[in-house]
Amino acid sequence: MRVISAVVLAPLVLLAAWGGEWPFALMLAAVAVLVMWEWSRIVRGTAADPATLAICGACAIPVVVLAVGLPGPAVLAVAGLALGAHLVARVRDQVTLMGPGVAYACLPAMALVILRGDPQFGLAAVGFLIAIVWASDIGGYFAGRWIGGPKLWPAVSPKKTWSGSFGSLLAAVAAAAAVLALLGLLSPWPIVLAGFLSIVSQAGDLAESALKRRFGVKDASNLIPGHGGVMDRIDGLAAAALAAATVGLARGGVDAAGAGLLLW
């Protein structure tokens, strides 16, 4: 399922990114809403009450505020929304994980908005990241299936193997090298970074699996027929996007995060 999802969803994400900053940001705002809805279903067992639906809908706000060009208010919006969600859930249901759910829904979407917002390298940075995650998913699937061997973390994800993990890493590095060569930006450090992002992507996948197993849930939802939920399909991308944006921001700042990710 991850392979099919990668083949189908990755081009859709790239198409939205190609369309410009606003189409991409609006798509990500919608994804943030859906992820928060799925998170609530996992940790609370429901997401149908008005208060939860309001919290889910509000997760679009920080993403849009950031796209407008207001990073400070966007971060404050995430913090305020997370605190509000935590307090409401704590008082009403004795549930303590709604606040982290807001962060999980909003921050990866905001990370992608930041990368795409680089006027010169934004589209290239998003393409670089998507290629890494896409190749990591596909490489891991085929390596694990063909080679097999010891399980990576059977208590959390019984099907994942060490061979699949190394296959993910190699495929991600190869895909990154191909993209960098196509962009004329081939150099050693972005390729090393691609390996790191592959590991982070795999960790994101395992973390979501651990969350679902903790609450006895097989899929985050059935929003994607036959493939589970949105969280099930973007868990690796969410983690890798956060890591990539952190590197980009540290090296290029808010206005040149894409360059910070790609130029070494």
What's the confidence (pLDDT) of residue 250? 98
Secondary structure of 191-245 as H, E, C letters: HHHHHHHHHHHHHHHHHHHHHHHHCCCCCCCCCECCCECHHHHHHHHHHHHHHHH
Instruction: Answer for the pair 230, 34: CB distance below 8 angstroms, yes or no.
Output: yes
Mean pLDDT, residues 119-139 taken together? 95
Percent of the chain with pLDDT over 90: 69
The pLDDT of residue 1 is above 60: no
Higher pLDDT pick, 49 / 39 = 39
**What is this structure's pTM?**
0.93
Provide mean pLDDT across the span 120-131: 97
Task: Work out how many domains the chain is built from and give that number.
Answer: 1
Q: Is the pLDDT of residue 2 over 60?
A: no
Kindly state the average pLDDT of the residues 103-129: 98
Using the predicted structure, report yes or no on whether residue 217 has a pLDDT greater than 90.
no
Is 124's pLDDT higher than 80?
yes
Q: What is the C-alpha separation between 81 and 56, in angstroms, rounded? A: 10
pLDDT for 3: 59
Q: Which pLDDT score, from 0 to 100, does residue 245 have?
A: 98
Phi, psi of 157 (to 5 degrees): -140, 90
3-class secondary structure, 150: coil
Q: Give the domain extent around 130.
A: 2-262
Q: Which residues contact 249 (CB under 8 A, 6 or more apart)?
A: 114, 257, 260
At residue 177, does pLDDT exceed 90?
A: yes
> Region 43-51: what's the mean pLDDT?
83
